[in-house]
Amino acid sequence: MLDLLKHCVLCPRRCGADRTASEAGFCGLPGHLVVDCALAHFGEEPPLSGRYGSGTIFFSSCNLRCVFCQNYQISHSAAGKIMTPAGLARMMLALQDERCHNINVVTPTPQIPLILEGLRLARKQGLVIPFVYNCGGYEDPDIIRCLAGAVDIYLPDLKYGSDETAHLLSGVGDYVAFAVAALKEMARQVGDGLHLDDGTATGGLLIRHLVLPGLVENSIAALNLIRSHLSQNVALSIMSQYTPVPAVKHHPLLRRRVARQEYQAVVDHALALGFKNLYIQEVSDRHFSPDFGHEKPFCWD
């Protein structure tokens, strides 16, 4: 896959940038790894965080530009620590040494060839914990097909139920078709359920959906898409934790938190559709946006 960096088609934008020659495409990333931070993360779903945390590596930039992005400090920037695949392998092994339950790569899409090289080296040196592909859902199924055998757990978002909303909030007008095709390919590889060993995820697919204020219809449409293309056995995480970021402080819908009745309406629809494996959250006023300018980005208390 390293050859893809010469004419980048790693995401559906297919901008064709020669990143090996420092030609930046939409993501602005060069032809080497750029990482913001790595840590044992306890804020993921319980089967991922477990007792000792998910070994989460946050990569810089993204192939989306969601106006409400909770990780906007790093997802809207290509700045970060330059790293080699060998350095990434050492990082993965260090997280395993901390007893993390998995290696969880966040926004890997624009950097996946180099991440896979790091993973290959880490596994050669003794990495045995599951590898989690944590993405925004805007994926090319042909690229996902290339990941067969390397990924143990797919952790995609399905952000939108319509391209109109996707274009308005993330700047892409073809989100739905690519996201659905990618989900189907992920399920083909690892199944549409989540495999657990004593409560800890070892493989499978877990789809996330963040409920946005004033956009219950979008959530319902997204759930309908999942039900239409996958089975009722799919593991589904319905998230209530949306926190307004500075960019949307004047937005007519996104400037507030999700109301309890909005979130409950989405959960009720999931139950009505027959989904059997749901992860849900309380609706509260707690601030959940990470601060990547802080040494501990997820220290909210």
Question: Does some domain include residue 286?
Answer: no
Strand pairing category for 277-279 and 235-239:
parallel
Question: Does some domain include residue 285?
Answer: no
Question: Does some domain include residue 300?
Answer: no
Question: Does some domain include residue 284?
Answer: no
Mean per-residue pLDDT, 130-146 = 98
Range of the domain at 116: 2-279
CA distance 129 to 254: 38
> How many domains are there within the chain?
1
* Residue 91 neighbours by CB under 8 Å, 6+ apart: 35, 38, 57, 83, 118
In tens, the pLDDT along 179-216 reads 999 999 999 999 999 999 999 999 999 999 999 999 99
In tens, the pLDDT along 2-56 reads 899 999 999 999 999 999 998 889 999 999 999 999 999 999 999 999 999 999 9
Question: Does some domain include residue 164?
Answer: yes
pTM to 2 decimals? 0.96
Question: Does some domain include residue 289?
Answer: no
99: left (phi over 0), alpha (psi -120 to 50) or beta: left
Give me the residues paired with residue 235 across strands.
206, 277
Question: Does some domain include residue 298?
Answer: no
For the domain that residue 184 is a member of, what is the CATH number?
A: 3.20.20.70
Percent of the chain with pLDDT over 90: 92
In tens, the pLDDT along 165-182 reads 999 999 999 999 999 999
